[in-house]
Amino acid sequence: MRARWRLAIGVFFCMAVQLATAGGSPFLWRVTPANGRPSYLFGSIHIPTPVVTNLAPSVEQAFQSSDAVYCELPFDAETIMRVTQGAMNAQRPLSQALPADLYTRAEREMGRLVPGFKLAALDHAEIWLVMSELVVLDYQLKYPGVPPLDLLMYQRAQGCGKEVGGIETAQEQLDAMNAFSADEQVEMLRAMLDEMQDLRKKGQDAVRLLLDAYVSGDVDQVDREVNRSYESCSPALKKRFEELLLTSRNHRMADRIAQKIRSKPDKSTLFVVGALHGLGPGSVVDLLGQAGFRVERVQP
C-alpha cells in the first residue's frame, strides 16, 4: 500500500524532479508579499534517494524558519486512501488495455529489477501508475528506507509541531492523470520504454540524467533534459501533457499559494511542489510575480 502511494503521487516521470542537495543550487524561491513575512517555494522530486533527501543548507534554513509546510497533497490517511484507490481502479485490466507487445515489454523491464515479476500483480492499475513504477522502482529497491522528499518534509514538519497541509486535492490530481485517454497513455508508456532502452544501450539512465541536471541547479540543463524526454512523443501529446499537468495546475497552485500567504501575512509557509511547476513562463513562480509578490531565487 505504501509503495503504491509513493508511486501515485509521482505523477510520472517528467514531474519527478527536485533539487535538494548541497552540491548545487536548490530550486528554492523566496516569495515576499507587499506587507508581511516571506514564504518559500521549493521544487520537489518523488525519487526516493539520499541524493535529494539530504537538504541543502538554504532549504534547511527555509524549513526551520517556516511556521507551516504545504506539499502538493496532504499526507493524511484519507488522501492516501483516495489516491491509492484511484490509481488501482482502472476500467479495464492492463492485460486488455495494453497491446500485447507493450504488456510484454513493460513486464520484462520490471523483471530486470525484480526477477520473476509478473505484471498481473498490477492488473487493475491505471497505465500511468505503471509508468510511475518504472521510474522509481530501481530507487525504491536501492534505498528501501528512504521516503520521497515531500513526505519526509511533511513528516518532519508534523514532528516539529508546524502546520501542515496540501495545495491540491487527491481528486484534482487523479482527474488530471485520468484526463489522458487510454491511447495517449499507451503512447506515453511506449515512448518511456523506448527512451529507457535506448539510453541503456548507451550506458545511461533516464532518471539519473534528470537527477544530475537538477543537482547542477542549471535551468538550461534541466530544460534540455526534459525536452529530450519528450522526443519520442508526438507534438500533440506533448501539448496535452503541458496543458493538463503543468499549465492548468500552475494557475491553481499559484492562486492557492497567494491566498494562503495573504490570509496569514504574519506567518511564513514553505510550499513544496514539483520543480517543473517553478520553471519558465507560466510557472508558479511567474504567476506569483504577476500577482504582486516579490519572487527571487534563494542563492546558496
> What confidence tens digit (pLDDT) does each residue in 213-257 have?
877 777 887 778 777 777 778 889 889 989 999 999 999 999 999
**Which position has the grid cell 519527478?**
16
Q: What is the mean pLDDT of residues 139-155?
A: 89
213: containing domain: 2-297
113 falls in which pLDDT band (50, 70, 90)?
confident
Q: What is the mean pLDDT of residues 114-134?
A: 92
CA dist., res. 45 & res. 276, Å (int): 9
Residue 289 is predicted with a pLDDT of 97
- Provide the residue type at 229 as one letter: S
74: its cell numbers: 496532504
Domain count, the chain: 1
CA dist., res. 208 & res. 271, Å (int): 25
| Span 22-63, pLDDT tens digits | 345 889 999 999 999 999 999 987 778 888 888 889 999 999
82: its cell numbers: 483516495
Q: What is the mean pLDDT of residues 126-130?
A: 93
Q: Are the C-beta atoms of 29 and 285 separated by less than 8 Å?
A: yes
Share of the chain above pLDDT 90, in %: 61
pTM of the model: 0.88
Residue 275 is predicted with a pLDDT of 85
Residue 24 is predicted with a pLDDT of 58
- Give me the phi and psi of 255, to 5 degrees please: -60, -45
Q: What is the mean pLDDT of residues 129-156?
A: 89
Judge residue 9's burial from the number of C-beta atoms within 10 Å of its C-beta, 0-12 exposed, 13-18 middle, 19 or more buried. Answer: buried
